[in-house]
Amino acid sequence: MSHNLPTGAQPTAADLDRPLYTPIKRRSFFMYAGATAGATALVLAGCSKDDNNSPGMVNVGSGDVGVLNYAYALEQLEADFYTQVRSGSYYTSLAAGSAEKLILDDLYYHEVIHREFLKAAITGAKATPIKALETVYPANTFSSRASVFGTAMAFEDLGVAAYNGAGQYISTAQYLFLAGKIVSVEARHAAIIRDLMSENSFVGNDVITLTSASNSSVSTNNAPTNSSLERAKSPAEVVAVANGFLKDGSKLDVSALR
Amino acid sequence: MNFFQIISEIEKVDPEVYDRLDSRRSVFKNMAGLGQKLSAAALPLAVGAIFNKAYGQTPANLTVVNVLNFALKLEYLESYFYNLRPTALFNTNTATSLNLIATDEANHVKFLRDTITAIGGTPIAVPATTEFDFTGSQGGKRAATFANYLTNAGTYLALAQSFEDTGVRAYKGAAPLTAVMANKTVLTAALNIHSVEARHASQLRAIRRALATASNPAPSLGIPVSPYSAAPKSWISGTDAGGASPSSSPISTSGIYGVGNDTGAATYGAGTSNGTMANVLFLAENNITQGGVALSGTTLPNTSSFPAEAFSEAFDEGLDVGTVAAIANNFSVSTTYFN
């Protein structure tokens, strides 16, 4: 576990031996107690998935600032997406004053405001915002209705699930409140975008627990079948999707958010 | 089964798990005993027993139960309202929307009851349907503001949007309570209901837009029309000129979008404290100062061309429990059900 090994290092022969020569913390000791062989325990200890080093990745950090930077990263992605939507061929073909155009305009405004606000809030908290992320999208993402709204839907649903899953990592009430102020607007976005894709899909089993229970990796998320709770996602689940839209060097490392 | 991974995962949300597992700290003895005496098949049962011992005796957090019971009352209000939905007034799309929302609210009622029981609390008694008067007359004690809600689609939808927007503000306002934040399972559940209420609110607003442009049966393609009280956006723009029915009397919906009460916000009902809530202010929906940052096209980069209303739309606001109770009591025959 991270208590024993230098962060980010893969275990070497020397590392595997070292805990035996140093005073063993109680919690580390617990890890060894039930194992069949000391060597097995040491390998387990060295293989925690949280210890992966991530060269070239953007680490959002930990604690309240980590959550704020995580949110800032996702808002960067959404804001960039809608910015590019507005110069893409599908949007520019829309009639002025059409429902779709008005909606895409508002979503663009809201997400850019979220991005710029979070950057200001992180700076205001005497912390350092992550860098500006570089995005990448599949070819023709901005040229068809299906891909514009399909991608928007994926981002909005992901944003809601991300905020809901990360709320438990916030320790300061006012930051939790701020996250709540943003996430309900994201949910409003998600509902209308989903209906533009398919009328009356504003809720559905893919995003709330209806015909199946929550199977999220969010350990506090245990909603059963027919409970109609949002399917929150853990930071690891979220970046598994988000990193697909981020260039090398901009991909997110959220391993410290827990 | 990787037992150590499970312990590690629990430790992330409960740093005291090791102490809970064995407060006497004779960890080695217990774990060694497990490994030696139990077959692999019996291990899951033994692990279950450990966790029952660790968590089963935790005293019920009555404060969290109070908050959940208040949420449960609101869910009953919504659920009973949707149970009365006059489907025949609506086109197929809208009727389907209302069916979906009705299902969700009934599910929320059951989930909250089960959750309260699971953490050792007692859910409130199931309210009689006669506790709620959706006309707003409180059982004939005053004029009926929404007398035609079962025969007029616009009135019914105005009430529905009002209940959903109130619900979003209520859950948002309760999440930062110390007692809620301290129980991560309850917090995550509350957040996961909060966003579903916001999805509902968005949909009902879209339906109201579509009704305003009557030729369009597809809610998503309705056009919002400023000042949005009749044909609203899917999100709250400023105070939406008072919401769905701002000039009705004696109940105006404007309070739903107005300022809350920061004094004693962590207290509701008969003075039951729900903990503290530092640095949380219940401002009106047209608020544009967030986290001490005054939002405008001049203070935020890359937003100079944005319409002024976008800065309030981008954030929903929370409400304190007392203000929510006052709003909801407008539909209580006893006039005090939500206290």
Q: Whole domain around residue B40: which residue ranges?
A: 3-55
Which are the contacts of A181, defined by CB distance < 8 A and separation ≥ 6?
B172, B290, B315, B316, B317, B318
Q: Tell me how close the Cα of A26 comes to any Cα of chain B, in angstroms.
A: 9
- For B2, the closest chain A residue by CA position comes to A44
Residue B323 banded pLDDT, cuts 50, 70, 90: very high
Please indicate whether, in this complex, the C-beta atoms of A106 and B198 are within 8 angstroms of each other. Answer: no
Q: What is the pLDDT of residues A197-220, one digit of tens each?
A: 999 999 999 999 999 999 777 878
Please tell me whether residues B261 and B231 are part of one structural domain. yes
Please tell me whether residues B270 and B163 are part of one structural domain. yes
CA distance A115 to A136: 18
Check residue A114 and give its pLDDT.
Answer: 98
Domain count, chain B: 2
Please indicate whether, in this complex, the C-beta atoms of B178 and A120 are within 8 angstroms of each other. Answer: no
Please tell me whether residues B149 and B13 are part of one structural domain. no
Q: CB-based contact (8 Å) between A221 and chain B? A: yes
Check residue B212 and give its pLDDT.
Answer: 84
A-chain residues near B235 (CB < 8 A): 106, 110, 185, 188-189
At residue B268, what are phi and psi to the nearest 5 degrees? Answer: -145, 170
Is the distance from CB of B165 to CB of B236 less than 8 angstroms?
A: yes
Please tell me whether residues B124 and B183 are part of one structural domain. yes
Q: Tell me how close the Cα of A48 comes to any Cα of chain B, in angstroms.
A: 8
Nearest CB to B293 within list A99, A121, A176 = A121
Q: Provide the token pair at B147.
A: 């007398």
Report if residue B337 sits inside a domain: no
Is the distance from CB of B179 to CB of B67 less than 8 angstroms?
A: yes
Please tell me whether residues B197 and B285 are part of one structural domain. yes
CA distance B14 to B12: 6
Q: Looking at A101-110, A171-180, B16-25, B276-285, which range is the least confident one?
A: B16-25
Report if residue B339 sits inside a domain: no
Report if residue B336 sits inside a domain: no
Q: Which amino acid is at A163?
A: Y
Report if residue B19 sits inside a domain: yes
Q: What is the pLDDT of residues B146-183, one digit of tens each?
A: 999 999 999 999 999 999 999 999 999 999 988 899 99
Please tell me whether residues B46 and B88 are part of one structural domain. no
Nearest CB to B234 within list A109, A191, A200 = A191
Residue B264 banded pLDDT, cuts 50, 70, 90: low
Please tell me whether residues B40 and B73 are part of one structural domain. no
Pairing assessment for the beta strands B267-268 and A252-253 based on DSSP bridges: unpaired
Pairs from B18-27 (Cβ < 8 Å, separation ≥ 24)? B18/A26, B18/A27, B18/A30, B20/B54, B20/B55, B21/B50, B21/B53, B21/B54, B25/A26, B27/A26, B27/A29, B27/A30, B27/A33
Please tell me whether residues B257 and B304 are part of one structural domain. yes
Q: Determine the Cα angle at B103 with ends B99 and B104, to 5°.
A: 120
A-chain residues near B223 (CB < 8 A): 97-99, 102
Final residue before a domain boundary, out of B15, B31, B55: B55
Please tell me whether residues B34 and B166 are part of one structural domain. no
Q: Looking at A137-146, B17-26, B125-134, which range is the least confident one?
A: B17-26
Q: CB-based contact (8 Å) between A195 and chain B? A: yes
Nearest CB to A31 within list B4, B13, B110 = B4
Check residue B265 and give its pLDDT.
Answer: 53
Q: How far is CA A46 from the centre of its chain?
A: 26
Final residue before a domain boundary, out of B32, B55, B78: B55
What value does the mean pLDDT take over residues B131-141? 98
Nearest CB to A113 within list B12, B181, B310 = B310
Please tell me whether residues B204 and B221 are part of one structural domain. yes
Alpha carbon separation from B131 to B45, B65, B164 (Å, rounded): 46, 22, 19
Nearest CB to A114 within list B108, B306, B314 = B314
pLDDT higher than 90, residue B104 = yes
Q: Provide the token pair at A34.
A: 């039930």
With a cut of 50, list the residues of chain A below it in pLDDT.
1-53
Is the distance from CB of B330 to CB of B81 less than 8 angstroms?
A: no
A-chain residues near B203 (CB < 8 A): 191-192, 195, 202
Q: Provide the token pair at A60.
A: 């959002």
Q: B-contacting residues of A 49-88, CB under 8 Å? A: none
* Structure ipTM: 0.81
Report if residue B51 sits inside a domain: yes
Q: Give this prediction's pTM.
A: 0.81
Report if residue B163 sits inside a domain: yes
Report if residue B141 sits inside a domain: yes
Of B332, B306, B35, nearest to A37 by C-alpha is: B35
Q: Tell me how close the Cα of A105 comes to any Cα of chain B, in angstroms.
A: 10
**H or E stretch including B273?**
strand B272-273
B-chain residues near A64 (CB < 8 A): none
Nearest CB to A183 within list B7, B189, B195 = B195
- For B112, the closest chain A residue by CA position comes to A227
Check residue B216 and give its pLDDT.
Answer: 66
Please tell me whether residues B42 and B137 are part of one structural domain. no
Q: CB-based contact (8 Å) between A31 and chain B? A: yes
Pairing assessment for the beta strands A252-253 and A58-59 based on DSSP bridges: parallel
Domains and CATH numbers, chain A: 13-51 (no CATH), 58-253 (1.20.1260.10)
pLDDT higher than 60, residue B144 = yes
pLDDT higher than 90, residue B272 = no
Please tell me whether residues B11 and B72 are part of one structural domain. no
Is the distance from CB of B237 to CB of B286 less than 8 angstroms?
A: no
Report if residue B17 sits inside a domain: yes
